[in-house]
Structure 1
Amino acid sequence: MQAEAGETVGFSVLGSIMVVRGGAELHLGTRQQRLVLALLLVRAGAPVSVAELVDLLWDEQAPASAVNVVHRHIGELRRLLEPGLPTRATGRHLVRELASYRLRADEQSLDLLKFRSLSRLASRALHDADPESALRHSLAGLRLWRGRCAAGLEPASRRHPAFLAVEAERAQAVREAADAAERCGRLSMVLSPLRQAAELHPLDESLQSRLLLALAADGRQAEAVEMYRLVRQRLSEELGVDPGEELREAYDRLLHQRTPPGRAESPAALPRLAQLPPDLPAFSGRDELLADARAAVTRPGGPRLLAIDGMPGVGKSALAVHLAHEFAAGYPDGQLYVDLRGYGREPVMNPAEALRGFLGSLGVPQEGIPAELHAQAGLYRSRLAGRRVLVVLDNCRDAEQVRHLLPGTPDCLVVVTSRSRLSTLQTAAGAHPLPVGLPGVDEARSMLLGMLGAGRGAADPAAVDAVVAGCGRLPLALAVVAARAVSLPPTPLAQIAVELAREPESLDGFDGDDPQTGLRAFFSWSYQALSAPAARLFRLLPAHPGPGFSIAGAAALAGVAPRVGRALLGELSRAHLVSEDLPGRYRAHGLLLAYATELGEETDSPAERAAAQLRCLQFHRAVG
């Protein structure tokens, strides 16, 4: 769709709503205005009545001015899409038809229409017995989704029938993708979209059955069995029914692939263990850490455990997975991997749950797994005895969470990652520490260029350097910005750099399409693990002048005794929310301070923040 000569307008609703005109993303205004646009987008060219828009914007009694408000939002959207459009002019995109409005769009301008076109091609190919083409079209359509339909406009986007209907289309497309993948013998290719759809539709047995089969095809039998148990429990508790025929049949297929209880197994009969996530194709840098790890692992009698720790977003998991892929050839009996969910939106995984998953992967039937934790750990270590297996324990909360997951044999290698320092593993298990700090400027530049792709950043080295500086060299921030730049190819990198420099103390430039993948979410998981006094000190840190602070200065800021300040800074340091650059001297990353500023404004009263600033000023005058 043309906006002005040479300008194109693209609309996205499969995720957070987004409009790009001439290569630049537009600011879509108030929540009500975005809701109006979202409903027009999901109707994809069909008329939407003014009455329906009024009902969408006001859950209860609409004001007398409601219709005028809707017309005003439409006018604002028209001028946003077509700058310079005269007042009351219709324009090319938003058309009025009697008491309704319609948005003109086609497959090239609206992701929903492109998705529907690809879904039709997939359905036709599946009907014509061409599962390869069906799978290709299905996956191309599903890749257009960036989150829930109209994400960020909840609760309306989760309740209105128009948005729910689009989500139902997505679920059907996932089913057909799974059917095509099964016929091709490549069910694991649809594991990710199946997980997402099954999470959104927890009582949809057709999706759950396909997810179960995909997990089994990917070698995750134990996870599939546990998933069936949870679905059966959910059906019983919420609907009062047992699993239907389709789900029971999928479970039976899973069970028939497993070794019957009591049958002896030889090592060769064990399932192939290949659970590592894919290595990042653009992984670069970290040469010193990689060399340190290689030297430790290859040294005769060297440690069998690498403990990786660092601040949120610094790239610990990426380093662990990269190392694991490099070392995998030396462990021919395979690799085990688990995300322990020590920090995140999901509940922390307990050691028993992780052990049940590992034991299932090692060929132990669920009914053969002991109920008691120590017995599970003993069976796990017995299964690994005499074998060379690489185990990755990602995102752990503390040393206690992984204690029972460590093999008893020196022939295995374990890689652990955590946001907390794992000193206990060094003393109790001989772990070799690999603290991950910020990459150097050259490393950060190389990381960003790798994520942007060949040629994208090389044409404007000054913009690359500005983005690196705006991200504070934090790998997660670089990844978020790179993803934004790649999703909007015409947008100059220099424009993004200017936006970051314009608001250096804001995190608004580091939110992805899914709020759970932005910097705020990653930082929040560490913040939520703090004690209340340490959380309060963290919120007050932006009030301290200068980049660094002492124990006494932090204590004055919080209004506590120096010994208490030392303990609170120790907690923040162990959580990697501050770093101790010199003995007794601390600093926090600029993006963490921006997050702390937001928290302080939301949580603490202006009087409390002003009092902290005054205490800090008085302290520095006294010592100055």
Structure 2
Amino acid sequence: MTARFGVLGEIEIRFDGVPVDAGHARQRSVLAALLFDANRVVSADTLVDRVWGEQPPHRARGTLSSYLTRLRQALPSDVSITRHSGGYLLTVDPAAVDLHRARTLLRDARAAGTDDLAEPLLREALGLWRGEPFAGLDTPWVNGVRDTLDKERLAAELDLTDIRMRRGEHASLLPELSARAAERPLDERVAGQYLLALYRCDRQADALDGYERLRRRLATELGADPCQALRTLHQRMLRADPALAPATRRIPMPRQLPAPPHSFIGRARELAALGELLEVSGALPIAAVNGAGGTGKTWLAVHWAHRHLDRFPDGQLYVNLRGFDPSGSAVPPSAAIRALLDALGVDPSAIPSGVDAQAALYRSVLADKRMLVLLDNARDAAQVLPLLPGGSRCTVVATSRNQLTGLVTTHGARDLTLGVLAEAESRELLTRQLGTARVDAEPLAVNAFVRYCAGLPLALSIVAARAGRHPGFPLAALAEELEDRATRLDALGSGDLNADIRAVFSWSWHALGADALAVFPLLGTFPASDITPFAVASLAGLPLSRVRGLLRELEAANLVQQHSPGRYRMHDLLRLYGSEQATAEDAQAALRRVTEFYLHTAHAADRLLDPHRPSIELGPLPPGREPQALPDRAAALRWFAEEYANLGAMHRLAVESGWDETVWLLSRKMEAYRWLRGHADDSLVACRDAVAATGRLGDRRAEGWALVMLGHALTRSGHLDEAIATLRKSLSVLETTGDTQGMANAHMATGDTLGLRGEHLPALRHTRLATRLFRELGDVVWGAAALTMAAKCCARLGRTDAARACSEYALPLLRKHDNQEGESAALLVLGDVAPTSGEAIGYYERALEVLSGLGYTFYLPDIHAKLGETHAAAGDIPRARASWQDALELYAAQYRTADVRRMQDRLQGS
């Protein structure tokens, strides 16, 4: 049983994730006092002082003793409270106490040496704070410790801010820094970060004014001058020190290779052949490694790649193409290219629609880089061809169970066929995993393992893992157990490797405990490449606490691999074997459960991303099942990013299974995230599926909403004519249902699309209709958003007074209801129609802050370009050039070549 203790928030105890009652406030105080000095003796007098302060009860020590007795009864066997001379000792793993875990992480972060190493440690440490330390307790000792911990937390937050500032995140940090500076007006480190962020956001005047206000306040309240660091920063700002210029956000070098196999054996010929690729010049070096399942193709490629990392200084890309996935769902080229572009740091909003355009962008990004591209588990050459770089500086290694003849004949790929290991190599692999002494002690048993595994590296590793789990068992007993399944092991001598490995899998599977035995086949039915414990709990219909233990059992048996923290995957052959063992009825029920889990968690995440959008509520999950808890918007974004591929797999499963309501609802719940991250192609496919599904359901209201979604997707993809036709159909459908909310959204979407087509007067009519309908519904937020869109139409028509009036009316409403996307839109309109350059600049700069905080990067260079024109109109050419330079860099990062040329011309002509 795994125990976890928390003091960075309310005092809590959890066993395997389940909360345990720690008693009333005084008893929790005793626990907190011991946890603070875990693994150190705390005297009884100190405990009394910490728990009661200056007013202890008459028999404080007797009361303390009773509290300690109750705490002992609540703790697991691996945590103890023992009496020692003069005091008490709580013995616990420090990593199990959030306070000590956080301090260890912070210490490691400050000793890390690089930002890349320090940042994840700082984030993990800060994530352990759940609120006010020792919440609910109030004694002099607790209050003193709480103050100390608050200072430690602030120091960690400022360390993380320094890292983010060095990476050029000043714009997105500005709102947070402004709030922190207001909360701590005399903290000079906080002030320095805020002033530097203002300066780097082209608000030099505000930064200098902020310094002067701080100087006066320090003199008035403390009789002191700013510290030397702040005075130096002030002088550097005054002379416009170029070193203060904002850093370009550095995209981490992609290092996507899986970990090197720890027991790699042999393959000298193949390694030498791969090494010859590095000597190829004038053409793209490609190796096509083929062989039967389980022969170690991935092991070979990964082992070789790790031996030659120095030859790929710009990084290494890795994609599992799942060409032989048991679900039949090989990764399409569009999804693979998108994943590669994401790994290369391409801004999502810069990725064009269409696989051909995306492939061209991918080749452009790789053109001058020396990288390894490892394309693992391809079905055929057609799946690989779109993923080949265009130049000759990269190196490509593709693996497949099939011969990739197309790569060999058309691109001169080096063809390598991988067979099984020789008997000596098989024995060496077992020796490495089991140890020389154990292998030498039982040669006959080892001979049996070698014989039955038929030289297949994956089978040998599973056998070794099974033996390694029971180091006290004689190998002969395990060999005998293997032989007892003679009817299923006969195929080992047939030459059919799939049949051979099935026998070994059967042996390993049947060695599991009862619950793991039942879960393994269900994992084989899961249609995506990896899975989290949360999803496994729904798939299996078991509590999360139980599932974590079962996954550890499966991992120990080499039947699953935890390839990254909290994410598990299976070898394709294991998945295929597992799916064969599941009955159709069990598989259907399991997939239904896990699909519902993804749908309900996506619903919760969607509400956090876009709380103002009309919500389509879901029915409750059955008792004992619940979606994954997501505390805030940042957590929702992380969940969508990490589970995006799996959500796509759930969508395809629902389409293939005819679960029309799930198809429609899942499409709806993912729209906000797809919009934010620029997944325009995926959105178009999902929305077309949603329209077809709602049509089959006969749900006219849902069909109307699905058509509105499709209209949005078509607009984002540039299909404006089809978008208008689709939105008109949505209006027709929604009118028959009397859905005023839907009609208002449809009119708003129609106005947006017509405006993009340059039809501003019809666009204005639709946005006014939307505004009226939202007003009738009493929907203040969406009414203000529609009014802002109407203002944009008025501005385009030259009706500046009307545009200003609409935006000024909408802006405070949008701010009041924290609709930041709408706020930025209103600010941009006000900037466009502002009577003076100074006012326009203020509106544009505020819009920049808001959009940066939301993560909408696509529009940022456009605003910088507007700022440049406005500064130029005011005669401030240096600031105009600085804004155009910012726009140029952002356009270049998004590969918007026409806009890059426009900015270059503007800079040359100024």
> When the two structures are superposed, what TM-score results if normalisation uses the length of structure 1?
0.43
Give the number of the structure whose alpha-carbon radius of gyration is greater.
2
Greater relative CO (CA pairs within 8 A, separation 6+): 1
Compare the two structures and name the one with the higher helix fraction: 2
